[in-house]
C-alpha cells in the first residue's frame, strides 16, 4: 500500500519538505496547521480564539481535499503557546469540533514562531 500526498490551495503551503496531509489506505494524517491565510500567508487573528478558527478552516480545507471531514477525526493534537489560552481555545474548539463521539485529544504547551498562538494536527480514519 503506497502513501499519497494531499494538497490544496485552500490551506497554507508548507514552508519545508512536508505534505499538508498524507494518506495510506484509510489513514489520513493532516500536518500541523496554524492560522495563516492561504492566499496571503499572513497570520489571521490576534487572539487564540481567532487563530483557532482560522486553523480549523485550514484543517477542514485539507480534509476536504482528501475527501474527508472532521467527522473522520480520531485524534487531535493541540499545541498552545500559553497555558492561560486553554479556556479560550476550548470555547472555540467545542463549537467547531462537531458532534460526539469526539476525537481523542492531547494538548501541549510549546513555543511557536512569533505571532502564532496555536497549532493543530489531526489523524483521521476514513471509510
Q: What residue ranges do the domains of the chain occupy?
A: 3-125
Contacts of 66 (CB under 8 A, 6+ apart): 6, 21, 23, 28, 124, 126
Residue 53: pLDDT band with limits 50, 70, 90: very high
Q: Does 88 score more than 90 pLDDT? A: yes
CATH number of 3-125: 3.30.1330.40
Torsional sign, CA 90, 91, 94, 97 = negative
Q: Does 89 score more than 90 pLDDT? A: yes
pTM over 0.85, yes/no: yes
Residue 127: per-residue pLDDT: 83
Residue 121: per-residue pLDDT: 98
Amino acid at each position: 500500500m503506497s502513501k499519497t500526498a494531499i494538497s490544496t490551495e485552500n490551506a497554507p503551503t508548507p514552508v519545508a519538505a512536508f505534505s499538508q496531509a498524507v494518506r495510506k489506505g484509510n489513514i489520513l494524517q493532516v500536518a500541523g496547521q496554524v492560522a495563516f491565510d492561504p492566499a496571503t500567508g499572513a497570520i489571521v487573528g490576534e487572539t487564540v480564539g481567532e487563530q483557532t478558527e482560522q486553523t480549523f478552516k485550514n484543517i477542514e480545507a485539507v480534509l476536504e481535499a482528501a475527501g474527508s471531514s472532521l467527522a473522520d477525526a480520531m485524534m487531535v493534537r493541540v499545541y498552545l503557546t500559553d497555558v492561560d489560552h486553554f479556556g479560550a481555545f476550548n470555547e472555540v474548539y467545542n463549537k467547531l469540533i462537531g458532534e460526539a463521539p469526539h476525537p481523542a485529544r492531547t494538548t501541549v504547551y510549546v513555543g511557536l514562531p512569533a505571532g502564532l498562538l496555536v497549532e493543530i494536527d489531526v489523524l483521521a480514519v476514513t471509510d
